[in-house]
Chain A
């Protein structure tokens, strides 16, 4: 047994050991002729304890007890400090937790380190999905993968009510390769679930619980998918999450796809690039080896399919252990998270600095008590240790409360954000360790810095004048001002950012989206899935349009390729307009009328316009690319013209509502695009009245299972995330503002109380009241001013960094700065003046008489 272990063992058995020692010594004394020669048992016991080297622990425990008692005696201080700290720590842990579970931690699947997701790459392009025939060729001809897994998410109609659902078609080895198990029944298996066997369906546990009411008899029953009976063979285990947190509702087998989409050419089509391709690397195969081997395979396959595989195309692996993100995506996400992490850490610093100031105030009040300890022989290090350890209960309570808060908020945010509900967002060991690390940092800030400051004072002198001098010199300490500047700066920065986010949301919610969505409905029949060819699609749409137009509810209608507020969208960047994303859509001429997008210049499309050579640009695109609106008849894009501009439309963020740096490009809908087209109709009255009209009209073909949605619902869904995010930001901003103001209030009111005599003398000598107020507030003016300047200066670059990426902030917004600053100044002034006025009201001259 090592010496250390022996000592630890002694520590845990200390009571018994000491009892035995006492007994042993008394036996010894009993044997002696002259027991007086034995010595003082108590002193000897004390020295025996020293031998084991645990005395510091006893001292620490004593300090801790002392600290705890001190906190219990000042419940208001304790509660405020714990609340502030738990907020600071909790916010950080929430972010860490969400990021860890949602983005950074590998999905809970079998051996994620050998499972790769392959994306198609060629110089300059990246496509997430592959055509199904290509996936099959890769599966059969590669030499580096032990298994190939396929997945494709498709909308299907469920049950007799034709409820729209997202189903995943997967290869039969999906569950066995990912390590999924069944909660009931069985899952798919290669060789059993084949193209010719009876169509089978697996339900996810979440769908079974939330939408099917945990029906115990579901396995073995038959359900309708696209009006085709399919038998339910099993339910996935509750913990099974698949390859990402975005769960489908039901699983079907790829090879049985034509059972439920009888006319679909999906399994043979090289044009539909929506199959997700995963592969399990053979033993000893690295991602690099796999990439090069598959690159050679793709080059060989290009010989067979030159139209669909481009030159130099390769398959880029992204490993499961990296959450199926490639280096670029990971860097982007980690960058955005680090920035958010920086902000939340700032909140913690603000919180800790605030509590640090409170602790310092309390310590100054106790300078007399500490002076007595020094006079009795306590070393300076002992005083520092005492003050640091006293703050431990604060930090630990804060950390525990922060953990609870984080677990709760992460769960709530996950629920609001619609993340998979079978993943636990409760704090795991990693979070607990991070939480403890944060509380250690907190202790250093709130305990060590003030303690060091206090211990360096002439504490002995404090006994003489009741601590007056020491208190005043501590009150003026630079540390205090630095802490206050940090608080003010941090909270100012967060407030400005929160104001930016709120303004961004406001802009999204206000009516200047540039188009009208309240009265519009969208019909998505998914003709491609149901085996329509180009001619069939055109004929279908002509009939449907005629039927919808006849109805009195309809005001206007048009076909388009991408639905407004939807996700299906092509984005390009042009060298002529750097930094501007161009979202393109193919439309019928009436589109602008239906969406109420104004035509600024020129005309809309005409029936004779060639889709390849005619375009309409948005105002933002015209200005960015040509520098003026005078673009009619000019070539597009500017440096390599392929088309002629016939019109300029108003800016309409119909696709990416929250995006600022995007513009729109419109082309006429080409005959080949009718298969993928959707119909947008505007109602004369309530948009809801259009839904039955569209459904009725769409069902002229019995194969079609139409999906009808209202744009106002899509809009609400699209802003939900932004709404939650700016709600959180605004809440955080206000809370940090309150914390900073509490800090200002505390410092000013404490300083005022200490120097009440001095003010009394000033007043007695005839000073004006406002002059005294100035005296009270004077020493916080500089820290506050410096903090505000730093905070506002930092908000600029951080805001700009957040404009791109997932947050889409509008950074250059003077109103946000002004709003935040005015709010801050008003709050800070109130916090500073309240105690000053209170001092004056209490009549400082009175205090002179007492002393």
Chain B
């Protein structure tokens, strides 16, 4: 969900995605950066993102990922689910 969310604004390559997630989460979610790749493969397999080779600002050859319409739909439904779950948890926590 996080990756899709990050890709919703603009296509990014792997390193940039990792950077952005770290930045947005204020360094709270800095797990092993490599584990990004199995997750990206899963998104590719499901057709939620597409990858194209491009040249980065620094002149390196990188693979840039962009979200597909199917991925957008998936993101929305995941966000909804998450929101519902979060609301429910908040409600329970506040009730006691």
User: Is the A/B pair a real complex?
Assistant: yes
A interface with B by C-beta (< 8 Å):
1, 3, 6-7, 10, 20-21, 24-25, 27-28, 31-32, 37-41, 44, 47-53
Is the pair B47, A3 in contact by a Cβ cutoff of 8 Å? yes
Instruction: List A contacts of B37 (CB < 8 A).
Output: 21, 24-25, 44, 48
If A3-B46, A7-B45 touch, whether A41 touches B34 (CB-CB below 8 Å) is: yes
A-B contact pairs, 29 of them (CB 8 A): A1-B47, A6-B44, A10-B45, A21-B37, A24-B14, A24-B62, A25-B34, A25-B37, A27-B14, A27-B60, A28-B14, A28-B33, A32-B15, A37-B33, A38-B32, A38-B33, A38-B34, A39-B32, A39-B33, A44-B35, A48-B37, A48-B38, A48-B41, A49-B41, A51-B38, A51-B42, A51-B44, A51-B45, A52-B41
| A-side interface mostly | helix
Contact of B45 among A3, A28, A38 (CB under 8 A): A3
Q: Which residue of B lies closest to A53 (CB)?
A: B45
Provide the bound-state CA to CA distance between A517 and B34, in Å.
94
Q: Smallest Cβ distance from A474 to chain B, in angstroms? A: 42
Q: Which residue of B lies closest to A7 (CB)?
A: B45
Q: Which residue of A lies closest to B33 (CB)?
A: A38
Q: Which residue of A lies closest to B32 (CB)?
A: A39
Is the pair A44, B63 in contact by a Cβ cutoff of 8 Å? no
Instruction: List B contacts of A1 (CB < 8 A).
Output: 47
Instruction: List A contacts of B42 (CB < 8 A).
Output: 51
For the A-B complex, the count of residue pairs with Cβ-Cβ distances under 8 Å equals: 64
If A6-B45, A53-B45 touch, whether A27 touches B15 (CB-CB below 8 Å) is: yes
Instruction: List A contacts of B14 (CB < 8 A).
Output: 24-25, 27-28
Q: Smallest Cβ distance from A846 to chain B, in angstroms? A: 60
Contact with A along B3-15 (1 / 0, CB 8 A): 0000000000011
Instruction: List B contacts of A27 (CB < 8 A).
Output: 14-15, 60-62
Provide the bound-state CA to CA distance between A1 and B47, in Å.
8
Q: Smallest Cβ distance from A569 to chain B, in angstroms? A: 74
Q: Smallest Cβ distance from B62 to chain A, in angstroms? A: 6
Q: Smallest Cβ distance from B81 to chain A, in angstroms? A: 20
Q: Smallest Cβ distance from A54 to chain B, in angstroms? A: 10
Q: Which residue of B lies closest to A37 (CB)?
A: B33
Q: Beyond A25-B14, A50-B38, A51-B39: 15 further Cβ-contacts under 8 Å?
A: A6-B45, A6-B47, A27-B15, A27-B61, A28-B18, A32-B15, A32-B33, A37-B32, A38-B34, A44-B35, A44-B38, A47-B35, A49-B41, A51-B41, A51-B44
Provide the bound-state CA to CA distance between A38 and B36, in Å.
9
Instruction: List B contacts of A53 (CB < 8 A).
Output: 45
Instruction: List B contacts of A7 (CB < 8 A).
Output: 45
Query: Considering residues A1, A7, A20, A27, which has the most beta carbons from chain B within 10 angstroms of its beta carbon?
Result: A27
Q: Smallest Cβ distance from A42 to chain B, in angstroms? A: 10
Top 6 A-B pairs, shortest CB-CB distance = A39-B34, A51-B41, A47-B38, A39-B32, A51-B42, A48-B41
Instruction: List A contacts of B46 (CB < 8 A).
Output: 3
Provide the bound-state CA to CA distance between A50 and B18, in Å.
21
Q: Smallest Cβ distance from B43 to chain A, in angstroms? A: 8
Provide the bound-state CA to CA distance between A32 and B36, in Å.
14
Provide the bound-state CA to CA distance between A39 and B38, in Å.
12
Q: Which residue of A lies closest to B46 (CB)?
A: A3
Provide the bound-state CA to CA distance between A41 and B38, in Å.
11
